[in-house]
Amino acid sequence: MPLMAGSTPLTRHPVRVFEARVAEVRNLSPHFRRITFTGPSLRAFGVPGPTLDLRIKMLLPTPGHALRPPGTPNGYLRPGWYQDWLRQEQPGRGFIRSYTVRALRRTGPDAEIDVDFVLREGPRSHSGPGSSWAREVSAGRRAWFVGPDATAHTDATPLPESGINWNPRGARHVLLAGDETAVPAISSILETLPTDITGHAFLEVPEPADILPLTTGSGVQVVWLHRGGGTVPRGLRLRAAVEQAIIAPGREPFEYAWVGAEAGSVKDLRRYLAGSGLNPRTSEFRGYWSMGKSGSGTNGIPVPSGLEPRGD
């Protein structure tokens, strides 16, 4: 619904800040921790259809300091809010990291959101603000994130502006591939795919115990891959599985690919799939994190050498 300033309608920004409470913290497997958020503000959280690969931006405090969330006191943001946030001083600014809405439920008076955080192994120096927060948080804590404002959406709002990138544009034979950071997104997408969609989904996780329950009514064949607890290099099995699906005799070409993983692995898969005839511009290739850089995605800040995480 548009806001009115005098007689001039103001279009609200499609995303806003939500203040929530941690309702539950539950380990799903050795490397996945599900954190459930709730609170009255979440009544306004959402997109018109299924959440698919919907991302939110967690606003994480600098340890020991209060967070100053961006936007107005009631959470409204305006275009350019991220640049404004970058100009704020630390420690109040804190950190922003992207995560996926694994589930959105509207069963009680307030909605609930599940987010599955990857817990990395190794010494604390290998953590970042996101993984450290997920490791230490407990029920009852306050949390802030930027996500889609359901009340600000109109039919004209493009889904990417709300945080959804899955867009097969009518493709019927699809490829989904990702590491553990993309397991929540791929799982949510598969849950809502219609029966007549076929293809392959490859999910690479650290170890067999990280294979999670996943349902799909589609014809997509789901294949879990694992790195044997660190004995197999990251991305190797994912690359081999994609390659096998491409070169298998009699295979049907993929019309659309959705790939989310470590940035180097995504770059390599993009190049390989483009070489196999897929148009990368109409597919979705997204670095979910970069080895040796802090910050979600491909544009992180280099971490000082000696503090890089292990490859598992």
- Nearer to ligand FAD (CB atom), residue 181 or residue 216: 181
> Binding ligand FAD by CB under 6 A: which of 120, 227, 237, 270?
120
Q: Which residues ranging from 13 to 52 are in contact with ligand FAD (CB under 6 A)? A: none
> Binding ligand FAD by CB under 6 A: which of 12, 16, 55, 93?
55
Q: Which residues ranging from 80 to 119 are in contact with ligand FAD (CB under 6 A)? A: 97-100, 115-118
> Binding ligand FAD by CB under 6 A: which of 129, 147, 148, 178?
129
Whether the upstream peptide bond of residue 91 has omega within 30° of 0, thus cis, is: yes
Burial of 143 (0-12, 13-18, 19+ CB in 10 A): buried
Name the phi and psi angles at 121, rounded to 5: -90, 175
For 154-279, list the strands marked E by DSSP.
Answer: 173-178, 198-205, 219-226, 256-262
Residue in this structure with the two tokens 């109109």, named with its chain if needed? 154
- Nearer to ligand FAD (CB atom), residue 61 or residue 184: 184
How many Cα atoms are found within 13 Å in the side-chain-facing hemisphere of 143? Answer: 32
Each residue 172-211 as x (binds ligand FAD by CB under 6 A) or -, in order, gives ---------x--x---------------------------
Size of the site for ligand FAD (CB under 6 A): 31
In sequence order, the 6+-apart residues with CB closer than 8 A to the CB of 58 are: 96, 97, 98, 99, 115, 130, 133, 143, 144, 145
Interface positions with ligand FAD (CB under 6 A): 55, 97-100, 115-118, 120, 127-131, 181, 184, 288-297, 300, 303, 308-309
